[in-house]
Amino acid sequence: MAYFLAKTDPETYSVSDFARDKNTVWDGVTNPLAARHISTMRKGDKVFLYHSMGDSAVVGLAKVASSPRLDPKNSKSWVVDMSFVAPLDPPTSLRTIKESNLFASFDLVRNSRLSTMPCPDDFVDWLRARYPKSKI
């Protein structure tokens, strides 16, 4: 199982919206590298949900519920279905992630504009330690 991080603007689609809806199609990704990352997702992979505006932070956990498919609205992009798993409370801020000095090579720190990315194993382990009762 792989882990990814997917960003969303909370004013457009927040973790609360996702929790209410329980399932969603993850679409609207236009960056070619981010779209390529979506194309590598597999059913059962887990996704950290990240609010990218305001207090930028990892705020929730989702699971990939379908195989990737071409976006019917943009033939150069990909979409997957996702199911909401749980909120991560309290959120882990980008500031906390950066101040840990553990993830300088992680795209979240290096390339903050990328909307979807794979997560390195050490980041997943670090979040597991922060949320020991979660389903990470």
Strand boundaries in 12-115, DSSP class E: 23-26, 46-51, 57-64, 69-71, 74-93
> Cβ(126)–Cβ(134) under 8 Å?
no
> Cβ(58)–Cβ(86) under 8 Å?
no
Say which CATH number the domain at 48 has.
3.10.590.10
Q: Is residue 110 part of a domain?
A: yes
Q: Is residue 26 part of a domain?
A: yes
Q: Is residue 135 part of a domain?
A: no
Q: What's the number of domains the chain is made of?
A: 1
Q: Is residue 93 part of a domain?
A: yes
Identify how many contiguous H helices and E strands the chain contains and give both numbers: 5, 7
Q: Is residue 29 part of a domain?
A: yes
Q: For residue range 64-98, what is the model confidence (pLDDT) as tens digits?
A: 999 999 999 999 999 999 999 999 999 999 999 99
In terms of residue numbers, what domain contains 57?
A: 3-129
**CA–CA gap between residue 67 and residue 119 (Å, rounded):** 19
Q: Is residue 101 part of a domain?
A: yes
**CA–CA gap between residue 127 and residue 121 (Å, rounded):** 10
Q: For residue range 19-36, what is the model confidence (pLDDT) as tens digits?
A: 999 999 999 999 999 999
pLDDT exceeds 80 at position 112: no
Q: Are strands 3-8 and 74-93 parallel, antiparallel or unpaired?
A: unpaired
Q: Is residue 136 part of a domain?
A: no
Give the pLDDT band (50/70/90) at residue 55.
confident
Residue 43: its pLDDT value, please? 98
Q: Is residue 134 part of a domain?
A: no
pLDDT exceeds 80 at position 6: yes
